[in-house]
Structure 1
């Protein structure tokens, strides 16, 4: 920061302390001449800081009554929420100008954070990945608010590859204690997850962060496995998880055309093997499998595909699609 700028800020701090300050007093405190003080006051006024000039023997400068710049004081939770929001915003299709504003705002917040808080937040941001994909219904889920200490503790365990003990409450309300080898933290469809190996059973698991309590880093270390990254592990886990309905479709098109409507976190895609001697076509029939809690959102997704499809199961989905087609036909025939 240049010395003139630093002195202008010092002048503002002196005026914020209250009362009227004479030009001579301000010049002495700032180590400048009287005319320089007046120039600095003019700069504050140009910035819409309401500096008043007081005439008379004991005159000088003061701030307008009731005016005070609020200090930027953020708790760990507040700083965490703001920085993660800015990072997520930069990945959400912002314009170049909006991304620049997001980056400069993030940099300003980092500069005023205590060093120990800034280090922990940097550790978290290094451990977080974003899927940039909607949930099962095609829209983001209801956002959760993970505890800041949970996020920071698990992020530290991810970075240093240390086991972490957690208390977990599943969706049925059952509570358990687990030891997790955390590979990474993932933000998906408005929720936050950690993926890693459940050390007790030796299998990979994904846990919602808002259901985790009392995380505690344990001695020791582990090696993260090679293969898919944390975000891909979470998406593949969702696509193969057990839900109320199992859906199988055959869709004609490219992988890109289908993935635009049925992302990896919603469906798995498998190409049918090519027929011997047949030239591979760019738009082939692909098998799509989904496991979902509800079927009511799928007819509109299938309609939006604009591609030929066949519903192999369940019959209930076929009935919903036929009903939607009937409604659309009746609407189109109305005068």
Structure 2
């Protein structure tokens, strides 16, 4: 009331109440996020394990038995829970692992920039410390395809097969020399910090993201996309190892089909299947289309087994 009396402009007095409402809402949502984060930090997941990976814990959940072990990378902003229609079907035939990248799901955030190279390195460490031996069939949806390609480039002896599920394409003309490592400039860091602040005030809830860390992790993933695209291009060939490319039959933008054909050309033993009627998202979140995705992953598993059985 004292501030209102001191404001001489009628317009300013009119704006005072909306500002107060916004501050109250920010306090309430910020308090909610703080309490929610504290509760979550003190809890443990009902399934899977939290494993220390160079100073932060990542969530790993593996089911099924047999080999080769399948490791599935979800797309940008997604978590292991978004693979709930796929992993159980794969687990009926072989071992399958899903995990949460840093800052989302059950996993802790990381101070290191989460470009494709860092994600592949963290995944490698996670699997080793989780006693999940390779070689693996790496399956990646959307941005997850970039991370699967980068893993295969950095750890070729541990990549027995690849499944690229409507995958984002790597750079067509990567820069010469070693793939660049993310070193975000000041602008990127400011954007990331601003997003983190918005997340703590409950912005993530409006965007369908479950925490401030998840929101920041997702935004950082897009900010570092250029690095990840270049790093994935380090895999120039997958030789004759089994490669399955699954493409959505609907909703593709111009040039997408050609990029999918280029991915299939990475191996002399590849299968490119277009899932008619499927969209980019439905390949993991629609019952029928997710079943086709699981079938494609198991086709790669069978091909690896047949290759290993040759004299």
Q: Same fold (TM over 0.5)?
A: no
TM range (shorter): under 0.3
Give the structure with the larger strand fraction.
1
User: Which structure carries more relative contact order (alpha carbon 8 Å, separation 6+)?
Assistant: 2
Bigger Rg over Cα: 1
* Higher helix fraction (1 or 2): 2
Give the TM-score, by structure 1 length. Answer: 0.24
